Chain A
Amino acid sequence: MDMTLNAFTLSLLTGLQLGSIYVLIALGLTLIFGTLGVVNFAHGALYLIAIYLAVSINNALGFGFALILVPPILFIIGVLLERGLIQRFYDRPHTDQILVTFGLAIVIQELLKWVFGANNIPFSIPSWGNGIIMMHDYLPFLEGFVVYPKWRMILVVVAIVTVSAVFALLHLTRFGLVIRAGMRDAEMLQFLGVNINRRFMIVFGLGAMIAGVAGVFGGPVTQVSPEVGMQLLVPSFLIVVIGGMGSLGGAVLASILIGMAQSFTAPYIYINTIIIYLITVIILLVRPRGLLGAKGVFE
């Protein structure tokens, strides 16, 4: 692979950008799974709600309002879903959880298709986010004129901020401590008298909220159409599996890995479409628990 430093840097950046969208969805998925033990097949649909909401608010009131409103709305939607539906399934077999969230995903997707139509809705980038960054100004080792779309860099920054915020929440707050302990042993926490129900509700809302952030910033990049939800869900699931189900660090690592893999194989179209599957199979055979997964979780 004969690559110049310029091309390498650009591929690196694209890898980060791809990874950024993945990490925002995978993080919510693995958080929900690690804490509640629920495999949320409707997570892509949550992202779908986010982008449709974001584009509607953006086109009516401007991006600022979308940024302020969408994540909290998604949080509330997440909480409502958990209380109204998901919590009935904690004692039911995993298959049933998958089935009901799958059904939910279809219903949400079809609902949005009905309301907004099947076509792509243009999500225009706000003026301050438009344009390009002169990468050669910041990275002296680059030769000549090298640019990168501003919005995609913003996306990377947003992802870094969000991931940091989630880690801070989990490692620096009392709430986070309870959640992390619950991720290892939910039953034990109940014995200690912790109100696990409320925590579950909040965690699910949190997962949805992160998808909300993803939607606001990712909408212009991934486009706004009904298939996007499921299109992102499959790679996100695989990323969670590769990283290790229930491991947040794993989700981050795997997102970067896959983002890079897809970015660097972009010129080789055929490999590019299946690289994520190949990596999944290899990880499956060589290290079934995932990169940072806990031993024995699913072996």
Chain B
Amino acid sequence: MITQNNFWQHNRTVLMFALVALTMPLWFPLIGGYSGLDTKIMIFCIFVVGFDILLGFTGYLSFGHAAFFGISAYVTGIMLKNFSDNIIPAILVAVLAATVVAVIIGLLTLKRTGIYFSILTLAFAEMFDSMAMSMLQKWTGGENGLTGMPTPMLFDLKMQGDTVFYFVTLMAIFLFYMAKRIERSPVGLMMKAIKCNQTRLEFTGINARKYKLLAFVISAIYAAIAGALMVVYEPFVGHEFLGWHQSGEIVIMSVIGGVGTLVGPMLGAGFMLYFENVLSVNLGEQWLLVLGAIFMAVVVFMPGGFMEGIARLKKRYFTTVDGE
């Protein structure tokens, strides 16, 4: 029963995203955006979509995902400096390293309920941050960070400027599509059930713990890919890639955009980065204060974020008989 028609329909959101993303260099400058910022937004779209698979589907709030972002970034940088300027082996090794760490942390932290989990993931983020500054200084550059990487190469292609943007954007489109596939699959269904009623899920024959770990690891992989791409985009890794601040930013992006919707958090990422780098020119140093206030307002009054706002507007102005 699957026809070509269905493919386009089913993947409407992905295609719209692809269209908007690939044309970004054209329209982004019109609203004050600059080249390079669009790449950064795409990188964080990857980070945040993966994060939504954990928070949005299973409901587990991690304050530690920056650890995977940072670990991957550091390993990528180290690989580029010491092994080869080709980004492919660098990215692969980096993501693998972060994934291994993710499995360990996941096994330790997912045993407990959501509260413990949030606190413990926060602790792990801080732990890695400390470690990067102290005992791992030799490799991480300590407080000053990791610099001195060669121009990253995709085999014979120099990864600079627009090339990086399109590489990152293609990856983002692909990874968004994958996330959508996961959402539509039985795995996605089980993950969402965890958020609703974990006990009932277990009594219906499902090993919820394994699905939780899967969501955790998948989201960590997305974070790791984002971290690796970050280094391709900009040859610098700082210890702040690892700590609660970076993790917190992802949480803010996800909530403002709309947890659980996959596309919402990407809107949140775009909004936050745009706010931080473009709108803040007028607000100065206080952009985070304003954003924090917006975040709180969202949590209190519109917990579904942008996407809830859009749904409400739709309802008000485009009421249909049976809803969507």
Contacts and interface: CB of A to CB of B under 8 A. Distances in A.
Interface of A: 39, 85, 88, 93-96, 98-100, 102-104, 106-107, 110-111, 113-114, 230, 234, 237-238, 241, 245, 269-270, 273-274, 277, 280-281, 284-285, 288, 298-299
Chain A interface mostly helix, strand, loop or mixed? helix
Interface string B88-113: 00000000000000000000100111
7 contacts: A39-B119, A95-B61, A98-B61, A103-B292, A238-B123, A274-B130, A280-B120
Contacts of B114: 94-95
Nearest to A238: B123
Contact of A273 (B113, B116, B124, B130): B130
B115 A270 contact: no
Nearest to A85: B300
Interface of B: 59, 61, 108, 111-116, 118-120, 122-124, 126-127, 130-131, 133-135, 244, 248, 251-252, 255, 285-286, 288-289, 292-293, 295-296, 299-300, 303
Contacts of A106: 248, 288, 292, 295
Given A99-B61, A238-B119, A298-B116, A274 B127 contact: yes
B127 A277 contact: yes
Given A107-B292, A298-B115, A298-B116, A277 B251 contact: no
Given A103-B295, A280-B120, 11 more contacts: A88-B300, A96-B303, A100-B299, A106-B292, A107-B296, A113-B285, A245-B115, A273-B135, A277-B126, A284-B108, A299-B112
Contacts of A230: 244
A237 B114 CA distance: 14
B124 A277 contact: yes
Contacts of B285: 113-114
B248 A274 contact: no
Contacts of B123: 234, 237-238, 277, 280
A38 to B, nearest CB: 10
Given A95-B61, A238-B119, A102 B108 contact: no
B134 A269 contact: yes
Contacts of B119: 39, 237-238, 241
A104 B296 contact: yes
A234 B120 CA distance: 9
Contacts of B286: 110, 114
A95 B116 contact: no
Contacts of B244: 230, 234
Contacts of B251: 99, 102
B122 A234 contact: yes
The 9 A-B pairs of least Cβ separation, nearest first, read A110-B289, A103-B296, A106-B292, A270-B135, A107-B292, A277-B127, A273-B130, A103-B295, A100-B299
Contact of B115 (A39, A107, A113, A285): A39
A19 to B, nearest CB: 18
Given A280-B123, A284-B120, A96 B289 contact: no
A104 to B, nearest CB: 6
Given A237-B123, A273-B130, A298-B113, A99 B299 contact: yes
A298 B124 CA distance: 19
B134 A270 contact: yes
B120 A273 contact: no
A276 to B, nearest CB: 8
A269 B244 CA distance: 22
Nearest to A240: B119
A99 B255 contact: yes
A36 to B, nearest CB: 13
